[in-house]
A and B are shown apart, each in its own frame.
Chain A
């Protein structure tokens, strides 16, 4: 049959891994200042560790492909089957305290130390992994104007019970190249290309993580030493959390967009609107199930989130003459994510609920100012776990009960995932002189400073510069609270005012706007003309200078806006300058 093809693949891979570590003695000679001789260090008994790992992977694939064209109708279809099995096993052993350096062999080492305690180690394990998948896809297009694609995946996962193991994941997409329509001919001088497109698709995720791989099975873990009867230690079996219904986490994504180019490519627009719903996210109902349940809680398919937004890209490309051209490109992404459902306790105060807020938001106590004078202190009058005095932060008493405690925690702000990300790049080329640049920025983003990035003297550290404008009796309007050498959990300003230790900095004072604009990349280059080059025998010569991370504009203190570890412990972003010469002969 014309256009039909079939392909089968049988693949077998074997991986072997052997590791050996022999830690031998090395004498160190140290000059003895009194005798003038070199003293030899004592003999360090060698140690040996060996490990062995093997894995064999068998994969079977079947492909059935069909492509054909009937006049203006283009049709193609694909069926794909895949099955994979991957057993592995491992073994490791070690001994230490070898008497000599002669034999780097396990059997030559002692099993115990001089005191008779067993020091050798032996370990081993086996695992098996498998997956099976099938997919079918149909494509149809008519006259390069209309495109249609439909697909269906059938995935089966070893991570789920047989009856919920199979997931079906369909997807559809449609495209319409409007500019190819006859009625658009009148616009062809201006509009080069216009395509409208839309898609809808569903995907599944079975990656639960190693520790809950067998979550669906009621398992009893082995405990070597669980109890003692009659003076002898006995082994045990300990039941673990199980969820026989655990199944695929899904993501459903809808996308609507257009692509257009105008005036022979001088202007371009790409626009997309997307909406993604993630359902059945695995989470533990720790906040909903009482401890009187009595067992460890299994993860369940309960979480729901939504992420929607637009992506816009505008391009401008202009060739003024053979010796002068320039281009500009701007892109903008607006996204908003939201937790639709989370397993929260029934009596959580509304202000403290995570559902309805964006993922990784900041929660805690809302700082409402600094106690600048004794009148304010008297007026504040809230009971707090750690005494609040002049120069300390005041907190909002959400339920107005005169004390600041757990019940006053609330949503404070979005987190470190920006809602708006943008970039502007461009270039100019004039008679071989080039200038290229990239600006990058983000806004509607926050970071909560903690530890060394926020707190004075934290963990024996120093004080950052912004603390110069702190509250003192002489500077009652300082931006920062009073300075204290106590940067631990027991102060009003760093620790939340009451209740269990939710961590340092659980209040809004330390949340800062992390918007930024950064000059990410600038390049200046000159390419010499071939006429000049031929004299020195080169075919191309280009000199250039580039700079990365040249400048950043942000209000965020002490940490880089692109880092997400706001305690100040990360390797900082570096400015990099390069100067170069590129010659080709």
Chain B
């Protein structure tokens, strides 16, 4: 330390120097300090490389069906993946009876339902980021074509999240800019206004996005992603829940939007998309899978749902040891919905169904979706669901509630903590578009050849015989059942039953399970007792706006019935 304090000239010189220095004459202020672990937004949008990293992060923020949050309140991320939305339908049951899906199954849907909270908050988080990106990217220097594509990707992601929101809640506030906190206090837009915005976003994004990317960019939103999202949005808009006057033009618009996607399908389409040959591998194959139109990508080791969400659903099979919780139990109700191989429903007395040999000669998708007595699972283990079998130990809480386990979307070639599965969560796939088309066209013009063609493409892939010659009403029922089976566990059933306004029928039906006894001679006796009663109320076709949102935004109105 140097201290100058004496008489004479020195003290003046030093003093004046110090005061001048202290007053600050440098160009860059000493107090302008920048963080060493973060970039400022000025920097991010000076280089498309940085902007691209922000865009990557928006994709990475997309909520997905593998990691839905089960518990309220606050930051309950530990509960991600504990239950699945399919468990709030007649297709499956949560092992955890304290899970938030179970309450809904009993007809209780509080305004603090964890799923609703999460759908709301997570989708709006993506929307804000997308808005921010779209506002800033134009001013960034760089390749104009690339900028246009990146902006369209963000626009698609915004539209996707708005569609997720409106299928849950009906009309929601259309946040179209990344404003200040106070600017978030706005009223809800109508369902129709939201649909129009989503369609507009989809059209603009589709115009700027390529139909395919080079292999190293696989996973980005494409033109077809935007068109398929538009088709789904218009189908929902035309559905009974949202189309009380049954305006036929809405069905026509939906069918036309589906056709725009099918133009990228197999010939006569341009061939970018199509059905994947094997229904089981379809959910695991991540490269060159033409059926996938848009997916939430995962990649080991570190891009995966939080908290190892996935294994919570895996059937708990002694010896497999992959962290399974056995949380996911498909119901007998769903199993019964699979047709026989000959195309007849099992309720048909001529179908050949044998309740004492129930898995024989069934739609091949049953074996590829649901683990049952005799299924081959990871490490070659054969599933035994009979009393005393390897997956039916009544002393274990993680035993299946229904006698069934999940196989669809479960990669049996991967097990153990180190080599866990990293297959994608598929948001949009070609088979859905075909089924969307069949449904819309059947409503718009009735069962014409194109309806059968679309429906039968899906059926043929899995070896089910083609349908023909049905009435509009009968075909509607077959299309609905086809959706249930083909799109099982992919978060469609929850919303499909609601938009068809069929909840009081399907979601009030008691849930049945299978109970298998091994006889002394090695044969099995099958029983199908009731597992639980269910309840449903019509107003639950739309979810409640989270109470915390009502509390914080006086301009929001709650949905009726809550």
Contacts and interface: CB of A to CB of B under 8 A. Distances in A.
Contact of B553 (A13, A60, A292, A297): A292
Interface string B53-67: 110110110000000
A85 B16 CA distance: 20
A380 to B, nearest CB: 24
B124 interface: yes
Contacts of A64: 15
Contacts of A81: 18-19, 22-23
B140 to A, nearest CB: 13
A9 B17 CA distance: 11
**For B216, B218, B551, B554, which residue has the most chain A Cβ atoms within 10 angstroms?**
B551
B432 to A, nearest CB: 23
B56 A293 contact: no
A360 to B, nearest CB: 20
Contact of B60 (A12, A236, A345): A236
A195 interface: no
Contacts of A13: 1
A397 B548 CA distance: 22
B37 A228 contact: no
A82 B30 CA distance: 13
A221 B33 contact: no
B60 A227 contact: yes
Interface string A61-84: 110100000000000000001110
A225 B303 CA distance: 7
Nearest to A83: B22
B129 A222 contact: no
A33 B366 CA distance: 62
Nearest to B125: A294
A36 interface: no
B38 interface: yes
A214 B35 contact: yes
A499 B287 CA distance: 46
B556 interface: yes
A12 B1 contact: yes
A503 to B, nearest CB: 12
A346 B5 CA distance: 61
A130 B214 CA distance: 49
B562 interface: no
Contacts of A231: 218, 286-287, 299
B521 interface: no
Interface in A298-332: none
A126 B44 CA distance: 20
Contacts of B3: 7, 9
A240 interface: yes
Interface in B1-46: 1-5, 11-12, 14-15, 17-19, 21-24, 29-41, 44
A162 B32 contact: yes
Interface in A331-383: 345-348
B31 A156 contact: yes
Given A81-B18, A125-B37, A289-B552, A230 B132 contact: no
B128 A219 contact: no
B54 A239 contact: yes
Interface residues of A, number: 75
A536 interface: no
B31 A345 contact: no
**For A8, A132, A222, which residue has the most chain B Cβ atoms within 10 angstroms?**
A8
Interface in A132-186: 132, 134, 156-158, 162, 165
Contacts of B215: 230
B423 to A, nearest CB: 12
B299 A293 contact: no
B100 to A, nearest CB: 12
Given A220-B54, A236-B56, A291 B549 contact: yes
Contacts of B120: 291-292
B1 A11 contact: yes
A226 B60 contact: yes
A530 interface: no
Contacts of A8: 4-5, 11, 14-15, 17-18
A126 B24 contact: no
Interface stretch (B87-95, B178-186, B193-201): B178-186
5 contacts: A62-B15, A220-B38, A226-B59, A230-B219, A236-B60
Interface of B: 1-5, 11-12, 14-15, 17-19, 21-24, 29-41, 44, 50, 53-54, 56-57, 59-60, 72-74, 112, 120-121, 124-129, 131-132, 172-173, 175, 178, 181-182, 184-185, 213-220, 286-287, 297-299, 302-303, 546, 548-554, 556
* 10 interchain residue pairs of minimum CB distance: A294-B128, A236-B57, A228-B299, A293-B184, A227-B60, A219-B38, A230-B216, A218-B41, A226-B60, A290-B553
Interface of A: 5-13, 60-62, 64, 81-83, 85, 125-132, 134, 156-158, 162, 165, 213-214, 217-240, 285, 287-295, 297, 345-348, 499-501
